[in-house]
Structure 1
Amino acid sequence: MLVVHALWRSGRLALWAEDPALPTQAGGGEHPFAVRLPGGEADTVTLHLPTVEGRPADSPELVRPDEPPKTKKLTLKPWQVPVSLHEDFPDGDYVLGSSVRHLQQVAAFADDLVRRGRTLPWIIPAPAAGEAGAGGLRAVWRPVLTGSDAHWAQALAHAQPPVARADTGEGSVAQALDDLVDLAAKRLLRKAGVDDQGWVRELRGSALELQGELRSWQRDAAGGAVRACFRLVEPAEEEVDWRVEFALQPVDEPSLVIPAQRVWKSRKLPATITSPKQTLLAELGRATRLWPRLADALATAQPEEMELDSAAAHGFLREAAPLLHTAGFGVMLPKWWGKPSSRLGLKLKASSKSSPATVAGKSAVGLDSLVDFSWEVSLGDEPLSEAELTELAELKAPLIKLRGQWVELDTKRLANGLKLLREGGQMSVADLLHAGLSTEDTSLGLPVLEVSADGSLGDLLSGAQVKLIEPPNEFVGQLRPYQQRGLSWMTFLQSLGLGGVLADDMGLGKTVQLLALLAHPDSGRTLLVCPMSLVGNWQREAARFAPKLQVHVHHGADRKLDPEADLVITTYALAARDLAQLREVPWDRIVVDEAQAIKNAATRQAVAIRAIPARHRIAVTGTPVENRLGDLWSIMEFANPGLLGNASAFKKAYAVPVERHADAEAAERLKKITGPFILRRLKTDKSIISDLPEKLEMEVLCNLTAEQASLYQAVVEDMMDRIENSEGIERRGLVLATMTKLKQVCNHPAQLLADGSRLTGRSGKLARLEEIVEEILAAQEKALLFTQYASFGTMLRSHLSAKFGREILFLHGAVSKPERDALVRRFQSTEPGSPSLFVLSLKAGGTGLTLTEANHVIHVDRWWNPAVEDQATDRAFRIGQRRNVQVRKFVCAGTVEEKISTMIQDKRGLAARIVGTGEVALSEMSTDQLRAMFTLDADAVSE
């Protein structure tokens, strides 16, 4: 598998790759394991790369299966690297390096700038006569970077990976952004059938003159170190006119505002502002392009301010001020402007015809239910009567002082307010919630300032504390206080017929909270959809905490739904495949576990899950937002369809403003509308931490893939025949060899086969590990991954490093003490970018280390000696550890792993000996006992 890196050179995409299969010997100036990707034009670049022992160090994404990590001192050395110059990224099966992923972000930003029109035309010399538009000139498009766009461009420059900075030629982030904006703009023009060079040719001799104008225009967009600032002042008592005062303001010190009067009198001006008078005149002249009315002030020799009537002041607030601010000028507006109290708004009062039921599973309200409503028009908290609105409409003034405060009046809005006062009727609960929880302006023509309702709907809208309920008698177990709050919250939403997202941090017991809800005798019939790796876990946890539930696993070739089952468990793949069958059942509830599986709304399984009808919907996930806000939309669309509008409207209203422009108001709106339907508790919350044990241990049950099951069965049949025909030392050796082979199969077929084959999609244990590691990385936490096999540790390091694009540390018996100490120091570092995952062989890393930066410990395979496992766990759970440690012990369901685990837990008979001596005691079992121990259970296999 090649690791691909990207550079941007001379307006082209330059790609090169590392091949772990090539030799790594030192020598020469040519990169020893770099290869050129197929296609594109050939070239060579010189890169200054980290070098160890005379050869380039491997990139974090490239891990060699046959070689331990290097921890020697690194130096920078020049290396010749072959590259392929491409127009677009070529097809192929590659692992993307950090430089490629970074360049993809730059390209996405360029596309977004073009879509929003944040570009300016520019003229440059044509590289070839055939491309000249006029007089050897060529038209290009350049980005306009102001405000949040400038900050994002700066962040992209700072985030450029080291390998992309290693190029000794041209290729900065700014240059790449310029080129990619130009390519995106021309692609858009060509799609519209526009000749992007035509306007330059038409200008002929005027092109050079235009080029000078464009330079001024570009300067207008970019600004300088000092800018003009405009402050709007409302009229004092008995005055009519408004004033706009002029000032100078350093860009990097916006709190320093120097009035124009001080500039003209040269009084106490900072020494850093050179030529202040000329700067002020130049800045005012620059602003005139955006606000032509400013030319009147420039008719005076020393402009300090200009007067405006009410209509002109309103025009400045609505039109000129946003333009000036976007262009980089300073703008200071009255504090009341933009606040709800300064403009007319609506208050919505709703009442339901009947109170919703509170019995579990019997909701009387839903998103489609209707409620009675009436409108009230108000100015902030002050209601306005119909007579007052009529009087205000007759004034026909855009800004007036009403009840001691300035108010913006809009003729259309006043008319809408009068119309709504006379209206009333019914609306759906979904419309009511959207109006009450979102603060956006609506098609009503006025913003909705407040929504109130009676009963449980009112509690939801006001954020009132949910009344705590006790778990049902049928639930076997003790809920912690925060878990009881989770049960009460889900029951409350259920009583309203509304869905929710249980998004507690991993390890806080989401499964237990769900089972407490399902255990209620009136809970109704539930369909639970989860990854195959969790089916067995749900089945066993249900038997433990809700034993009276009739549980049916919908799986297998001859699968049929059990009409008597209270809880039906199936997988995402089967839910999509059996959609027609599942839709015929009147489900009371549908639960999706690991709901990030439906984060891509357009996938077949996400569409299928949303199509299954149910009165109550719950999504369970520790990561409601993984990569983008679209993930949240998809999960919420399952839980409460239509609440966030359609996907395109959500993207426009929330995703783009929040993700691209860091719009705090849009983020707050989104938080307000989704908040009542998402329950998220973190381990870092002190109220939660106080409820948790210091060390939380759990067994993670995994299913085998079909390939693993087949290989497992073949090993059992082969080895049992040999065991039956042997005795003494030979027999004991064969039993232990069988154990080793079966445990390797449970880990991954490639470990037993040792054939260097791919790892993806072949192991249920690896699939579950990937899911947990993804959550750990998303939470920006660290984990130790223990395995008793150094060979499997090498595989894990290579696979996880490529999948997550992270450096993975690996400690095994061949690592020297200085290298071992260096690995520990790097993992224990709190510096940003320090490694988050540490794979350790149990023998090499089980004792003598302090790794307290990790608060997760995963035993990928088991030693079966609790003392040995506890010693390994205590690498993280020891003095110096500031957080609670979660310990996960992986076991494959239905295999010898689970059977030994059960014996250890039960501590009956042989188990006591196993606890003391590990697996050696198994060799003393009879052949029938061994056959029962090794035989694969029917429910062990995933689909």
Structure 2
Amino acid sequence: MLVAHGTWHGGALCLWAERSGPHEPAGDAHPFATRDFTGTSYEPMVAGAMRIELAMVLPTHGDHPQPSVELGPEPFDGPAELRAWRVPALVLEPFPAMALLQAAEHSGDVVPGTDLRFLCLLADEAVRLSQRGHVLPALLREDGDLVARWRPVIDDAARFRDLARAMPAACRAAEGGRPAADVLREALSGMVDTAVRGVVPHPLLPPRKGRAPDRVPLAERWVEALTGPSALVAREPRDDPDDLIAELDAWHAAAHRPSGPLRVCFRLYEPALPEDDDQLGEGDRAPDDQAERPHEAASDVWRVEFALQGTEDLSLYVPAALVWTGEASFLPDAEETLLGGLGRALRLFPDMAPALDGPLPCEVELDTAAAFRFLKQAAPMLSAAGFGVLLPQWAGKAKLGMKLTTRSQEGEGSGAATSSGFDLQGMVNFRWDLAIGDEAIDEDELEELARLKAPLVRLRGQWVELDEAQLEAALDFLRHPRAGAMSAAEAMRAVIHAGDEALPLVDVDADGAFGDLLSGTADRHLTPVTTPAGFNGTLRPFQERGLAWLTFMESVGLGGILADSMGLGKTAQTLALLAWERAAGREPGGPTLLVGPMSLVGNWQREAAKFTPKLRVYVHHGTGRHRDDELVRAASRADLVLTTYGTAARDAEMLAEVAWRRVVCDEAQALKNSGTRQARAVRSIPARTRLALTGTPVENHLTELWSIMEFANPGLLGPRAAFRERFAVPIERDGDERAAGALKRATQPFILRRLKTDKSIISDLPEKQEIKVYCNLTREQASLYQATLDDMLEQIAESDDKQRRGLVLATMAKLKQVCNHPAQLLKDGSRLPGRSGKLERLEEICAEVLEQGEKALVFTQYAEFGSMLQPYLAARLERPVLWLHGGTSKQQRDDLVQHFQHDTEPSVFLLSLKAAGTGLTLTAANHVVHVDRWWNPAVEDQATDRAFRIGQTRNVQVRKFVCVGTMEERVDEMIERKKALAESIVGTGEDWLTELSVADLRDVLRLSPEAVSD
């Protein structure tokens, strides 16, 4: 096993690796470090790299350095110490370094270490900055030479601080180590420079004929070095670079300067063709033959108007003409702001220079080529630099692309219909066309567009951007067969994988059921299947539509993801599918295998007995379960086989011997990590169709959706690496709307998603009200809190990274326990009353709930705290308090749930968040209390949905406890500020806090005076 590591040193990426296996200490030489990547996927990228030896300060135990966590745990005696080791390394040139960083995480034969993964993240950040135009050119002095560089414009200081805090120490451990912020700034600048050079054409300026090299001005030599292979600027004796350096530094500083109440704004006006101008006289109109032409090159004049715009009130827009006439006197310093802004913008929009020659610049006129440059180059950079930019509505929308039209061969409008509703192997007639928006264009029109060689053309009344790559791709497209017949399955794959950046798929026109499937509207267009015979209960209308969708997907042999939000009855709809098949007299074709968490097996048993008592159910779980041939016989005699993910992973080979009709995965987010043993095992079980049930198809990253889709329809979305490159990275990193649209088009035929908050889906589900309950600490709690915090800060200052992480996590747990109750931290069995603000408030709330004759769920993440609370609350409330935790047996769990749901007396149900946060229906409660926080909104919402689901008839009140003036309040504030990023930042619990500096940790965890009650 080879684990690759990356260190940023000397302005370059230094690469080295650890190898597994036996090793012997050899003085200060790292005993298992290597620079040899022969035979790995890294080899081509490191060929020719310079070999060096670094002095790396690394955690050390005894006579050898501590191996990275990727090599597996290794027992040590005593704490680690920091010590310098000689490490053989490779120094990579900028372009090979960027190539490696962008490919390192996808290599299967080399495992990237934490430090290298961080540098991969930094490379992604550099590409993102360059793509968004958040870069500026610079002229710098380095080792006595002048060099041309591209520098990042970091306008998000919080993002920079987060990256600095997250940097693993190994990234900066060479030659004694350096501050994280310094290394981050240097590495990000180097990567940005490489990223820009990789995309900006060279040279930027055409060479001037007849001019001797020594006559080329410094500024032109600098521009030449900005894009060439070498950043070195050729020097001449007469060069005086100080003014240019100062001007570029001022530009860079201005890009970070906060704006005032006004900013300069640029508005693009398209030329009005004569037939568009209602005020033109008869003699001014275009000739009839010109008016009838389907498209026109933009040979008229485009205008960019200068104006002032409010930075907070964007509707405040004052054209420059009004500023110069004095009609904008109500704006403070309007003239100075306008002139100063135009001067700064000139560097980004050089085509406006003629307008600034006059004393009162109002606008600039552009030809078509310059207008296109403004759209594609100047406008994004101006916007990134803080200027206002207003473009016509069509800008960036109408795109040249492909349109697919399919028609069934069975008859007009029928789709690929059969007696079962649809046949994926049925033939459809197809035709590929070129289109702009939803308008198809023919070959003659395209040839005319190519002849015009204009980047902007007017086609059928709308302006369209065309570049050379699009036209070449379109002309190549016309050379291939574009009509014929293919199966519906081939058409499906064509839709998913069609298109590229130059010529995307812009429209699909399909008829009948196939069209419904491609458009993702099959559930609305299919005739709902009524509640089948053999199903004890009545399906709601949206559940009948869900059943129709399930039967439709079954009939076409496609897997699906039923992604209804929690509480909408995914279990009932799945059981109704089995009952429908039985009632319709369809050939069984084998049993259905249901794989789920252990906590849900009992729930499926009860629901099957309740809704579908005629189904034969076999539970494959526990030490007494059938094996080998006995398993095959038991499964063949059943309609539904229930098992757990753990059992399925252990018995995958035996389960694969059964001829399954389908495999269903409940809580299918368990498959989100595609490389895990249980995900691979479940995917390996063959079946005719597959169904995934999950309320959260994406928890953290889009690759989780790929993993679930890979289970439901193997291979449909292509390899994981290709999916990540085409969809996940552009959408998550850049917010790419085109990629998001393509992903929606590719996945929506296979996903049925309904939300219970949508009143058009379910109108009789009550409301959910979330309340923050702020509690104070007692003086005893405050004293323990401060002592715990001081102890951690003292230890952390002298710890290495691995120890630091453990200390922070341990301290976080201790502080949360202190906020719950001192006895939980001390574990001394001491009395509970009067020592905890949370406990006092919990008593009050539970007493109020019982007094109102209602029921409450109380969640805690600590089983030990729940065991303390259960007898205490039962005695204080004089009512039994139920308690469910990880040690509760399956039978006990079922009995507790039944008792709580059906006992008419008011009660409190205390639950462990891990053991009971999913899979239970507890609608008898209309109050939910989260005593201590998991700090993952998705986990808390899942727990709340034990009560807020179908069957709930009352409004649900959700109370989340927060201790004032402690880390609980500050982390809660972070979650509220970053709701959109909550899953990626705090979705894994408290791990992100381990990367904070000591100062930032002290600020987050500190105890404020308001924490203690009077």
Instruction: Specify the alignment match of 2:269 in structure 1.
Output: 233
Instruction: Specify the alignment match of 1:212 in structure 2.
Output: 246
Instruction: Specify the alignment match of 2:154 in structure 1.
Output: 145
Give the counterpart of 1:258 among 312, 318, 321. 318
Deviations 1:483-523 (A, max 9, x none): 33322221112222222212233333322221221232335
Give the counterpart of 1:513 among 555, 569, 573. 573
Q: How does 1:423-438 map to 2 (within 5 A)?
A: 423-426=482-485, 429=488, 432-433=491-492
Instruction: Specify the alignment match of 2:713 in structure 1.
Output: 640
CA-CA distance at 1:781 after TM superposition: 9.7
Q: Verify the 8 A CA contact 1:120 1:143 in the aligned structure 2.
A: yes
1:328 and 2:392 correspond: no
Give the counterpart of 2:404 among 348, 351, 370. 348
Secondary structure of the structure 2 residue equivalent to 1:347: strand
Instruction: Specify the alignment match of 1:182 in structure 2.
Output: 186
The 2-side partners of 1:877 and 1:492 are apart by 35
Give the counterpart of 1:677 among 731, 746, 750. 750
CA-CA distance at 1:451 after TM superposition: 1.1
Give the counterpart of 1:499 among 559, 562, 566. 559
Instruction: Specify the alignment match of 2:396 in structure 1.
Output: 338
The 2-side partners of 1:386 and 1:123 are apart by 47
Q: Verify the 8 A CA contact 2:601 2:642 in the aligned structure 1.
A: yes
Secondary structure of the structure 1 residue equivalent to 2:908: helix
Instruction: Specify the alignment match of 2:665 in structure 1.
Output: 592
CA-CA distance at 1:299 after TM superposition: 3.4
Deviations 1:276-327 (A, max 9, x none): 4454444334333333333333333433222222232223223332333333
The 1-side partners of 2:180 and 2:736 are apart by 25
Change beyond 3 A, Cα 1:331–1:187: closer
Structure 1, gaps ≥5 residues long: 1-37, 42-81, 89-102, 126-131, 162-174, 192-197, 695-775, 784-797, 829-834, 851-855, 889-943
Secondary structure of the structure 2 residue equivalent to 1:446: coil
Give the counterpart of 2:506 among 409, 427, 449. 449
1:470 and 2:530 correspond: yes
Secondary structure of the structure 2 residue equivalent to 1:286: helix
Change beyond 3 A, Cα 1:460–1:107: same
Instruction: Specify the alignment match of 2:281 in structure 1.
Output: none
The 2-side partners of 1:484 and 1:808 are apart by 47
Change beyond 3 A, Cα 1:492–1:868: closer
CA-CA distance at 1:458 after TM superposition: 1.4
CA-CA distance at 1:371 after TM superposition: 4.2
The 2-side partners of 1:261 and 1:372 are apart by 59
Change beyond 3 A, Cα 1:403–1:660: closer
- Bigger Cα displacement from structure 2, 327-336 vs 870-879: 870-879
1:524 and 2:594 correspond: no
Code of the aligned partner of 2:712: A
The 1-side partners of 2:554 and 2:648 are apart by 23
Instruction: Specify the alignment match of 1:704 in structure 2.
Output: none
CA-CA distance at 1:600 after TM superposition: 1.0
CA-CA distance at 1:468 after TM superposition: 0.9
Change beyond 3 A, Cα 1:693–1:409: closer
Q: Verify the 8 A CA contact 2:843 2:873 in the aligned structure 1.
A: no
Instruction: Specify the alignment match of 1:538 in structure 2.
Output: 604
Code of the aligned partner of 2:597: P
Instruction: Specify the alignment match of 1:460 in structure 2.
Output: 517
The 1-side partners of 2:594 and 2:252 are apart by 58
The 1-side partners of 2:883 and 2:733 are apart by 36
Q: How does 1:667-746 map to 2 (within 5 A)?
A: 667=740, 669-686=742-759, 690=763
Change beyond 3 A, Cα 1:427–1:294: farther
The 2-side partners of 1:363 and 1:414 are apart by 38
Q: How does 1:725-874 map to 2 (within 5 A)?
A: 802=813, 809=820, 814-816=832-834, 819=837, 820-823=839-842, 837=860, 841-845=869-873, 870-872=906-908
Secondary structure of the structure 2 residue equivalent to 1:116: helix
The 1-side partners of 2:194 and 2:461 are apart by 56
Secondary structure of the structure 2 residue equivalent to 1:452: strand
CA-CA distance at 1:364 after TM superposition: 3.6
The 2-side partners of 1:309 and 1:214 are apart by 29
Q: Verify the 8 A CA contact 2:417 2:513 in the aligned structure 1.
A: no
The 1-side partners of 2:251 and 2:766 are apart by 63
Deviations 1:598-646 (A, max 9, x none): 1012223323333444332211122212222222221122223344443
Deviations 1:317-376 (A, max 9, x none): 233323333333322111122233xx444331113556657788x97427xx86431023
Deviations 1:223-277 (A, max 9, x none): 54154322211123448211122223344443333323234444324544x4x44
The 1-side partners of 2:83 and 2:418 are apart by 63
Change beyond 3 A, Cα 1:500–1:85: farther
Change beyond 3 A, Cα 1:818–1:551: closer
Secondary structure of the structure 2 residue equivalent to 1:562: helix
Instruction: Specify the alignment match of 2:997 in structure 1.
Output: none
Q: Verify the 8 A CA contact 1:857 1:886 in the aligned structure 2.
A: no
1:267 and 2:327 correspond: yes
Change beyond 3 A, Cα 1:425–1:116: same
Give the counterpart of 2:368 among 306, 310, 313. 310
Instruction: Specify the alignment match of 1:562 in structure 2.
Output: 632
Aligned residue pairs, count: 656
Deviations 1:841-872 (A, max 9, x none): 3454459889xxxxx99688679776697422
Code of the aligned partner of 1:350: T
Give the counterpart of 1:365 among 394, 405, 424. 424
Root-mean-square deviation (Å): 5.7
Instruction: Specify the alignment match of 1:242 in structure 2.
Output: 302
Change beyond 3 A, Cα 1:338–1:687: closer
The 2-side partners of 1:504 and 1:669 are apart by 22
Give the counterpart of 1:419 among 454, 475, 478. 478
Instruction: Specify the alignment match of 1:601 in structure 2.
Output: 674
TM-score where L is the length of structure 1: 0.57
The 2-side partners of 1:87 and 1:123 are apart by 36
Q: Verify the 8 A CA contact 2:59 2:80 in the aligned structure 1.
A: no
The 2-side partners of 1:123 and 1:240 are apart by 37
Code of the aligned partner of 1:425: G
CA-CA distance at 1:424 after TM superposition: 1.4
Code of the aligned partner of 2:265: C
Change beyond 3 A, Cα 1:293–1:682: closer
The 2-side partners of 1:573 and 1:881 are apart by 30
Give the counterpart of 1:113 among 122, 125, 128. 125
Q: Verify the 8 A CA contact 1:143 1:178 in the aligned structure 2.
A: no
CA-CA distance at 1:594 after TM superposition: 1.8
Q: How does 1:877-916 map to 2 (within 5 A)?
A: none
Give the counterpart of 1:299 among 353, 357, 361. 357
Secondary structure of the structure 2 residue equivalent to 1:334: coil
Q: Verify the 8 A CA contact 1:529 1:570 in the aligned structure 2.
A: yes
Change beyond 3 A, Cα 1:607–1:573: same
Give the counterpart of 1:287 among 337, 340, 345. 345
Give the counterpart of 1:319 among 377, 383, 394. 377
Q: Verify the 8 A CA contact 2:138 2:249 in the aligned structure 1.
A: no
Change beyond 3 A, Cα 1:622–1:153: same
Change beyond 3 A, Cα 1:398–1:669: same
